[in-house]
Amino acid sequence: MLYVLPSLQHVTSMTKNKYQVDYATIDGTGPLEWTVEANDCDLVTYKATDPNAPPGTRSWLWTTQVQGTLAEVADMFNPAGLDDPAAYREHCHAFHMEALDGVRLYCLESPPQGDTVGGQYVGVHWTVNELPGLIKNKDVCFVKNRDWCFLE
């Protein structure tokens, strides 16, 4: 009988993916206790305190349901025009609640050329969001991470 062992890189990738999925589990079985912060137009906002994160770190998670192929969803969340300020501003208005402006500051990792399902993306982004009432607008700088993970 022949057994094929997975490569160390494959095992490491699977472990990292499992870790990310565990931390994003909102049903009470993951390591973080996520609580609903807001439910607005089918976009549910959760927050959690991660005891392993550096002090002052805020953990947020958003969920929604979309219909489409994997490639269509990837394009929706990471449009080709991220480097064009006007196109990214439109993207911010559509996907960042109350965003007045936004810019991608750095692209740290992008999908390989010709990737049809969007691939992994890591970038540093900035938005300014309008807050209600007399509260000043809020600048937000964040790391956007998108990675596809399929657990069997």
- Strand segments, DSSP code E, in the chain are 35-40, 43-48, 59-63, 99-109, 121-129, 138-146
Q: From the CA atom positions of the chain, what is the Rg in Å? A: 18
Per-residue pLDDT of 130-151, as tens digits, reads 877 777 888 888 887 776 655 5
Burial 107-122 (b: 16+ CB within 10 A, else e): eeeebeeeeeebbebe
The rounded percent of the chain whose pLDDT value lies above 70 is 72
Predicted local distance difference test score (pLDDT) of residue 117: 57
Per-residue pLDDT of 57-104, as tens digits, reads 778 888 877 788 877 777 776 656 677 888 888 877 777 767 888 888
**3 state SS of 12:** helix
pLDDT exceeds 80 at position 31:
yes
